[in-house]
Structure 1
């Protein structure tokens, strides 16, 4: 894991993400790319187009760079190579562009947690990053001074669509010496007999060379509750899921996961694109 991208809006939630990124970086000797997207008011953009407000624009840029400098010198980042970027662009486009340019391995983003996915760092733009990013995205809900990924839950229907995301998860798990918990959530609306789930699970795990895992079947009223309650029951460190570029989240969520999962899951969420 050579480079970790941390987009920041200078909020406390963004700093929570940066602190976790710092822990990951120290463990893997990674570089952190600290990115601030500078979105100017529409009237300022119009003025820039006309060439009338370049001094004001430079002032915004100068202030953003000064803030990044101050953040980069915080004690918890000691010993980590930091690259600071201030970019004038729409967040989703800028984050995607920087991710490709710097060959980012992991994006770490902050979230307001229980306030919902629309309240993620830089608003609904983060939901777009989670949905569309080809790179794994780790969403941090709260301050986590001792981040661990020792126990990771991977909730899925274990279809062929999940093969590639699971392969990416295995690389992450090996870095952290993680134990994986593959869980299939059974609900009244998505019920399968145990013997059928066990057959699907056995077929799925046979495709991969990874032994530090357990398989589970968990019954609950809905998928959201099942993932959260199961994760809490084993005291998982991270919840992992697939995302789908067209519709948002994994196929087994019938096209889109309930926003309630992000609203209510306090644990870090790690996403991999299908």
Structure 2
């Protein structure tokens, strides 16, 4: 989970100022947390407290109204009777990482990922993106190799994972679709040498940089056994007290080093 927040924060300054290079500052004084982090922490809080997820999403949106939510999500979050809006966007995959940590078998991870995704993104592509992200995290944290993770994602979700990140980068453009974000984010992880390199891969694609890096970071954390200490320190220095406290509580319970 902390890796997802790190990706969001690192990518925050590049979403509207895309770069096509890995040789960029990973964190600057202008970095900030976005809705990706806020809603990831909302799910973590649900898993810690049992608060209904829909209630938590609305509560956290109200607590952080300027975090950068999509228009349809804002309407949903402010509704008295929120119903799923058939979205195939990447907004559910970006917030799903806690589900990959909190459950002890893959079937449950897939079931819960679908459940948490479908409260808003009940389109098949939206659900697939949430499940693929959570499954990759679970497989990574339970010792599967990158080759095994890639094969599972390709066979279970039908994503084309054949192109190396260097082949994707030149023509990749901004998109908010799950089907054109999740495979690329997973590939950024697969082609990385370590956690930091995974974030750099994700950011270098351009596009929806904070969300791509958020998804990549969540998987990379689980595969590499955590987040480098200097990045962890940077993340907690940018999160506010509420988000930081929930993140620490979730990490201590579900993400032991």
- The structure with the greater share of residues assigned to helix is 2
If each structure's strand is expressed as a fraction of its own residues, which one has the higher value? 1
TM-score by length of 1: 0.30
